[in-house]
Amino acid sequence: MLVRRCAIVLVEPREHLAFDPQSLADGADGLRATLSLVALAPHLDDEVPVDTDDVAALAQIAPGAWSDLAGLYARHARATLDGLVEKGLLISDAAAHAAVRARDEAVRDLNWRGLSAVAHHFGRWSGVRSGEEAQRAGVSSLADLTARLGPPPPAVRECAAPGARIALERAPGGAFDDLLRRRATCRNFDAQALLPAATFATMLDRVFGAQATVDAAGATILKRNSPSGGALHPTEAYLIVQRVDGIAPGLYHYHALNHALEPLRSPDPSALAELASRSVAAQDYFANAPVLVALVTRFARTFWKYRNHAKAYRVVALDAGHLSQTLYLSATDLRLGAFVTGAINEVEIEAAFGLDPRTDGVLAICGFGARAASRTAVELDPLGRVWDAAGNLVRE
């Protein structure tokens, strides 16, 4: 059998604290600390417990060249090496390990930067209900947070004395300034209203549609209304459509070149609503939007140019941020509410759309639709451009 180390692995030392009555009796703090090691490898679904013998062996086995396992037994304990093969940290050429080998090869082929791959893969959530958990923890409002944690750091950093500052003129106040002042995150969607089909199509075209293409040297370059690192536009729109006139509720992929929906599947309404809630980690004020859009990065598109690059993952994260702001501005222009959140259960979204997190990464979820007539959930609207003092929607 031939083996090689997996493409990417990070070993993290962990400290675990547990109550120790004997420590308390001895006059100490009553806590016992134990140390452990875990391996974080993005081709595996979970972190893997390891020991110092495992780490020593991994450090001496190359990830590129294949080595004969029998020959490695002369340098490392058989139990250690066999255990690493079974854990998936040593990749073997055996048929029994074909699935693990295929996942490792997918990571290699994408030219991931190691730290970025670990951060992305192990930062994903599954089954988190952050909205409910915040309420149970008593930190669902800003007042709760400041009461428990104290005031946050100052809103801005001051780098000069007040008298040394150079005052600048404010924006004169045109149509675009008015648009920006009306931009606010929506937590109060109309639960009954259907989004008009034309409005839905306009939103997708403005935010995700290809406005033009350029074919050069065998590569197709898109022009969108948002910037993208290397002009590569790796972010795809996967939609949970709940209430759009003329569009059956279900899951869709948006084809940016053809400005068209690609139907994926159509769960029943209750299952679709539950998926929306689980996707945004039980932030149900977001889950109620008529349309939710998962911003999904095709890593191969960016990593084709920025191979094993320290900034490649940052570039795709910026891509999602640019698109979400364009979505906000377009929604505001159309008198719709909008939101974006990173508090999402990526694992559930991947399963729903059939995505592999090693190749297609869910970075955020956006949504849009008509606002409710009155405010029930708290929104940040300090300029009073969305809600009046009584909590009623401002009609302009």
pLDDT tens, 324-379?
999 999 999 999 999 999 999 999 999 999 999 999 999 999 999 999 999 999 99
SS3 call for 23: helix
CATH superfamily of 113-138+183-396: NADH Oxidase (3.40.109.10)
The mean per-residue pLDDT over the stretch 218-227 comes to: 92
**pLDDT-derived band of residue 172, with 50, 70 and 90 as boundaries?**
confident
**Cα 242 to Cα 200, 281, 302, 366, distances in angstroms:** 12, 17, 31, 14
Closest CA to 203 of 319, 335, 365: 335
**pLDDT-derived band of residue 130, with 50, 70 and 90 as boundaries?**
confident
Query: Rounded CA gap, 68 and 84, in Å?
Result: 14
Mean pLDDT of the chain: 94
Pairing of strands 291-298, 235-241: antiparallel
Does 137 have pLDDT greater than 80?
no
pLDDT for residue 185: 97
Query: Rounded CA gap, 121 and 109, in Å?
Result: 16
Amino acid at 112: W
Joined together, the tokens standing for residue 23 give 């420590």
The mean per-residue pLDDT over the stretch 202-207 comes to: 98
**Please, what's the b/e burial string for 326-360 (b: 16 or more CB within 10 A of its CB; e: otherwise)?**
bbbbbbbbbebbbbbbbbbbbbbbbebbebebbeb
Most confident of the ranges 32-41, 164-173, 274-283: 274-283
pLDDT for residue 128: 94
Query: Rounded CA gap, 299 and 281, in Å?
Result: 24
DSSP 82-134: HHHHHHTSEEE-SGGGHHHHHHHHHHHHTT--HHHHHHHHHT--SS--HHHHH
pLDDT for residue 217: 84
Query: Rounded CA gap, 181 and 46, in Å?
Result: 44
Strands (E), the chain: 2-5, 10-19, 31-40, 48-50, 67-68, 90-92, 212-216, 219-223, 235-241, 250-255, 260-265, 291-298, 337-341, 360-369
Does 131 have pLDDT greater than 90?
no
Poorest-confidence range of 198-207, 218-227, 274-283? 218-227
Does 308 have pLDDT greater than 90?
yes
Does 63 have pLDDT greater than 80?
yes
Q: What pTM was computed for the model? A: 0.91
The mean per-residue pLDDT over the stretch 103-125 comes to: 96
Query: 69-112, pLDDT tens digit by residue?
Result: 999 999 999 999 999 999 999 999 999 999 999 999 999 999 99
The mean per-residue pLDDT over the stretch 290-315 comes to: 96
The mean per-residue pLDDT over the stretch 250-270 comes to: 96
Joined together, the tokens standing for residue 7 give 């493409």
The mean per-residue pLDDT over the stretch 379-386 comes to: 93
Domain residue ranges in the chain? 2-109, 113-138+183-396
pLDDT for residue 227: 95
Does 30 have pLDDT greater than 80?
no
Does 142 have pLDDT greater than 90?
no
